[in-house]
Structure 1
Amino acid sequence: MKKIFFTVFAAVGMMSLVSCSDSDFNEKYADPSKTTTVSVPQVFTGVLDAGNRWMNLDYWRYYTQSSTSGCFSGVIGNANGRGRFRGASEGYFNIRWQDFYNMLTQYRVLEDTYNNLSDDEKEANKIFLLLGRTIMQAQLHEVLSIWGDAPYSGAGTLWKTGDYDGAKKSAKYDDDVQIYKQILSDLKEAGDFFAAGNLNAAGVAALKRQDFSSAAGSVDIWQRYVNSLRLRIALHLATNGDLVAEAKSAIQELLSNPTQYPLIENNSQNIGVNGDTATDHFNYGKGVSQALAGSSMAAGSQAMLDAMNVPANGVPDENTDPRLAAVYDCNPDDAYIAYDNSLTSNEIDNIAEEKNKEYVERGITTSNYYCRIDTIAFTGWAAYQGNANLNGTWINAAEVALSKAEAYLMGYGVAANEAAAKENFIKGVVLSNEYYWNMKTTSSLYVEGNDSYRGFRALTVPTTADFEAYANKIWKATQECVATQLWLNFSFLNELEAWNVNRRTGFPNVKFAKDTQMADYPTPPNRLPYPSDELNFNKDNCEAAKAINYSESTGYYTNLFWAKQTYYSLY
């Protein structure tokens, strides 16, 4: 809540951004604490930057999500340690909450600056208003999928009014159903804006100057992102709950009008932020390696191995997913072994200890028995020694294709069409394979023919024909088949969306052992509890929201309206 009521001393009433040494970014954004004027395009860049930590591959994001949604979704392995379903400490959740309200306040400044323009100036700046709102609402969707109801319509006002008591009264919790309704409506407005064409030339030129995303001011890429985000959120709401009809209507409009609402169709149209080793602000490889290299949060999971059709002995065969060697590092026996969650934590550790003794006897002094996220592509070989070419991706083409496959298979807003579902499914699996292999083969740590940084085996890069053959082989006309591939495409790259797939569909059905050492948190949660800032700075509104929404005292096991109550199974 502190961030909702953030006091601002800048001359134009805007909070200052996190410091960034990147000269290109500094040129795009003039710090309002050092100037008496600020423009809509500059504030747009500020909104974009405020989302960096949670939209891209940041250390903080990975440390927090890997121990929460990464674990709860099953995309990160857990060794049955005590407190595994409690996740990272509350302070990490609290900072995630603060960061969103920082971003929302940045957007409120953008909105206010825009509203004070003349009509002619508004025409040139509308593209920034709509895109700023879109990226803010992408993060708002994440907040809603973690916590449910949240302050929105009245939040982010103190920077302008200076009225602390008034700001507290305004920051009431909005119903998440109503917020999602607003998001769908706003994304349609943005999509229609681009579809209408004839965009203001001055606005487009300014976007090219101010946009530090990989779109680099491309109207085509931004248009595809807006529509693809609308598809993501509509699918999120189309399976269960109070907005099924609205979600299906949005899906119908998007899929029935591909010319009016183009989507991300291939990996060259993916959008995010490219890494930059010149500044820690955008040095994603360094941040991820700091969070994951040598950490248990890079552990492979049995659910992931099962989804990739790895045999029980861990040795890939002709039926195994071609992505495997781009996703995980194997052990010295060319096997991919994950924690067996039917065992105790001590038993899991003892197995690895015995195998490591064996490796030492064989002259292998640095090794891992259990598979880990690929060191070349993603985690790096040591802290601060990561893939310098690692980029952030907000939505990729594989997600879009697999989302379309589920919509056609399930008849979400469109007539059920198994042939269209299969076509998009195969396309999605191929695109996902291409994405993961590109991440590995373009890594700064990649050496042709070497599978992992420690060089346990030779590497053969599969072909597009291999990807297509595998996709055809695994196709089944079931929601489980499609949702599992959507979950697998998110995996460790977007652990929260992977958890959203679990909770929405129940697939894949990940199996956990109950944590008998933590009576309050024995199983994976349905949501996270409201953070301490809310209880400290917005107590009355927060308690009112809890009274309405929590079915038990912690909120941990209170279901969200779009999700299944039980999305996993237990040993």
Structure 2
Amino acid sequence: MKNMKKLIIYISFSLMAVVLFSGCKKSDFSENYYNPEKAVTADVPSLYAGLFKNETILPRYWNLYTFQVPVLGTYTQIAGYTNGSGVYEQPNNYTGDRWNDFYKNVMARYREIEKHYNALTSADDKEGYKLFLETAQVFVYDQATQIVDMWGDIPFSTAGGLNAEGKIILPGYDNGESLYNTALTELKRISDYLATVTPNNFYLSQLKSTDYVNSGDLLKWRKYTNSVLLRLAMRISYKDEAKAKSIVQGLLANPTQYPLAEDVLDKITIQPNSPTSSLAPADQKEIWNGFDVIPYPGAKMVNEIMVPTNDPRLPVYFTTNKNGVYNGVANTLTEAQVAEGATNFIFSRWDSTTFTYNHLLPGILVTPAEVNLLKAEAFERWGGGSAKDAYEKGIRLSIAFWYGINNISDRVEDKVEPPTEAAIMAYLAKPLVAYGTDNLNKIATQKWINFTIMQAQIAWSEIRRTKLPVLSFPNDPTSVAAPNPPTRLLYPSAERTLNTANYNAVKDKDNTTTKLFWDVR
């Protein structure tokens, strides 16, 4: 189970300082928090390195087993699940862990970077380490908007704040739409900063040694920044189409100023460099165990879309069943039927080389496939480029990305050869895939397939935003609380008990049917 020592030592800044409850010593805090890379003292680079070692991004047992696979996998139908009692109800302890992980692993660490940066007295250090602060903010806004996408209004601008006496401020909730607007403004500002900054080699070398995302490559940071900006602008595009269109067309019309992560080498990931890297799981079965709660994919994706089109990604996504065919779990099956099917090995499982036994499986932030499919949607809706070309490029890059993940795996015996050009062309010509009709549905479907379970949180947002692909969820008559999938997650119970006054300002929104501000279709 989760390392309980770290759970009580870290600070969950959305609530209160853990020291108020655990009485931990400053030395404990320093060992577990200030020095993620075992540095002797806290400084901006060491804190920066620790920001990216995040269990909700890197594939880890706890997040996969309790949240990513069973909760988001169900709401997106990427994972197979049983049509049983309470199937759509949220496991509040586990969704609360996902909330707390953001505040203790992203917000708290960023606030420490910010604090140390603000304490610098040298003008050279201020200028040199500004690069760390600005790129850290890209990551923070990426993660914070994902929390908005799951909960709505969240503590942010005052989360982790201290008053004049050094006491923790219980944070108020930022309006989700306002936080999105701030993120869009700040990401554009940071993008412009990164396009012009010429860092001193002393600071750049430190960035390269502590940057687990882009290894100090400023062009890749620009691409990451602009790609998140594109994603967020498209996310609001049905709520505020004029604003979204202006941002997106500004990006796409000026690729030199605003490069995107849109080519095969542009993937933005947190990548272990060896099976024994600190970014790789220490337990050889950790990822396998994380998937084991629901080791099967959903039937909609497998049986209705990927198998009929002979999707080239099938052999790197899933195993075949005992009959040598790919078969997902239909969400109309009873618990007894799923149990019988599992016993008789009639369901596919997630591929072990690509996923469950791959100790080099990265944490995925942005894939070039997603970027091109977002471009395809923008071109389809607003013009300005070839939607067909962007769509087909997105599919090709998805295939390349996932075969690349399969082929870097340390599980060498089951690697799969990439498909031929003829196989890809045949796939692109299939009626369910070929561009020309029902285009927005096809774009959304390809995004959904590309995200896999590893980015189910993005998939859930896209499904709610576009209502595509169309997913059918049987009603659960046994549940009063959640007879249907929710439109948002419920706030953790600790917010009601420990941050009561601020929670009361948003409690009327705290139900499973309140829609996110961008969810207007």
Q: Same fold (TM over 0.5)?
A: yes
Distance 2:338 2:435 in 1: 34
Distance 1:377 1:160 in 2: 51
Query: Which residue of structure 1 aligns with residue 242 of structure 2?
Result: 245
Equivalent residue letter for 1:59 = Y
How many Å apart are 1:500 and its aligned residue? 1.0
How many Å apart are 1:12 and its aligned residue? 11
How many Å apart are 1:349 and its aligned residue? 3.5
Equivalent residue letter for 1:538 = N
Equivalent pair of 1:526/1:556 in contact (CA under 8 Å): yes
Identity of aligned residues (%): 31
How many Å apart are 1:160 and its aligned residue? 8.2
How many Å apart are 1:115 and its aligned residue? 2.6
Distance 1:250 1:119 in 2: 34
Q: Is residue 131 from structure 1 mapped to residue 130 from structure 2 by the alignment?
A: no
Change beyond 3 A, Cα 1:501–1:16:
farther
How many Å apart are 1:13 and its aligned residue? 12
Equivalent pair of 1:153/1:174 in contact (CA under 8 Å): yes
Q: Secondary structure at the match of 2:49?
A: helix
Query: Which residue of structure 2 aligns with residue 182 of structure 1?
Result: 182
Query: Which residue of structure 1 aligns with residue 424 of structure 2?
Result: 467
How many Å apart are 1:472 and its aligned residue? 4.4
How many Å apart are 1:197 and its aligned residue? 4.2
Q: Is residue 423 from structure 1 mapped to residue 394 from structure 2 by the alignment?
A: no
1:315-344 alpha-carbon deviations (Å, 9 max, x no partner): xxxx31111111111112221222233343
Q: Secondary structure at the match of 1:272?
A: strand
Query: Which residue of structure 2 aligns with residue 559 of structure 1?
Result: 515
Distance 2:363 2:407 in 1: 16
Q: Report matched runs for 1:17-416 at 5 Å.
A: 17=32, 26=37, 30=39, 35=41, 38-49=42-53, 52-63=54-65, 64-87=67-90, 89-102=91-104, 103-117=106-120, 118-158=122-162, 161-164=165-168, 167-168=169-170, 171-213=171-213, 215-238=214-237, 240-241=238-239, 243-275=240-272, 276-278=274-276, 282-283=280-281, 286-292=285-291, 295-306=292-303, 308-311=305-308, 319-351=309-341, 353=343, 356=344, 368-379=345-356, 386-411=357-382, 415=383
Q: Is residue 495 from structure 1 mapped to residue 497 from structure 2 by the alignment?
A: no
Equivalent residue letter for 2:55 = R
Distance 1:408 1:485 in 2: 16
Distance 1:397 1:351 in 2: 36
How many Å apart are 1:47 and its aligned residue? 2.2
Q: Is residue 542 from structure 1 mapped to residue 503 from structure 2 by the alignment?
A: yes
Equivalent pair of 2:300/2:330 in contact (CA under 8 Å): no
Q: Secondary structure at the match of 1:57?
A: coil
1:136-165 alpha-carbon deviations (Å, 9 max, x no partner): 11110111011000111111114985324x
TM-score normalized with structure 2 length = 0.88
Unaligned runs of 5+ in 1: 312-318, 357-367, 380-385, 452-458, 566-571
Equivalent pair of 2:80/2:330 in contact (CA under 8 Å): no
Distance 1:183 1:83 in 2: 36
Distance 1:232 1:425 in 2: 16
1:258-306 alpha-carbon deviations (Å, 9 max, x no partner): 01111112232212222343267532874321211xx242211112125
- Say what the alpha-carbon RMSD is for the aligned residues: 2.6
Q: Secondary structure at the match of 2:73?
A: helix
Query: Which residue of structure 1 aligns with residue 6 of structure 2?
Result: none
Distance 2:424 2:236 in 1: 30
Q: Secondary structure at the match of 2:452?
A: helix
Q: Secondary structure at the match of 1:529?
A: coil
Distance 1:335 1:254 in 2: 43
Q: Is residue 434 from structure 1 mapped to residue 400 from structure 2 by the alignment?
A: yes
Distance 2:81 2:353 in 1: 22
Distance 2:359 2:350 in 1: 16
Distance 1:152 1:466 in 2: 48
1:386-420 alpha-carbon deviations (Å, 9 max, x no partner): 22332222111111111111111111xxx354xx1
Distance 1:94 1:83 in 2: 18
Equivalent pair of 2:297/2:328 in contact (CA under 8 Å): yes
Equivalent residue letter for 2:56 = W
Equivalent residue letter for 2:129 = N
Unaligned runs of 5+ in 2: 1-10
Distance 1:274 1:124 in 2: 26
Equivalent residue letter for 2:407 = T
Q: Secondary structure at the match of 2:82?
A: coil
Distance 1:496 1:516 in 2: 26
Equivalent pair of 1:430/1:468 in contact (CA under 8 Å): no
Q: Which moved more, 1:339-348 or 1:171-180?
A: 339-348
Distance 1:14 1:81 in 2: 43
Distance 1:398 1:251 in 2: 17
TM-score normalized with structure 1 length = 0.81
Q: Which moved more, 1:530-539 or 1:511-520?
A: 511-520
Equivalent pair of 2:303/2:328 in contact (CA under 8 Å): no
Q: Secondary structure at the match of 1:268?
A: coil
Distance 1:156 1:464 in 2: 52
Query: Which residue of structure 2 aligns with residue 512 of structure 1?
Result: 473
Distance 1:119 1:247 in 2: 38
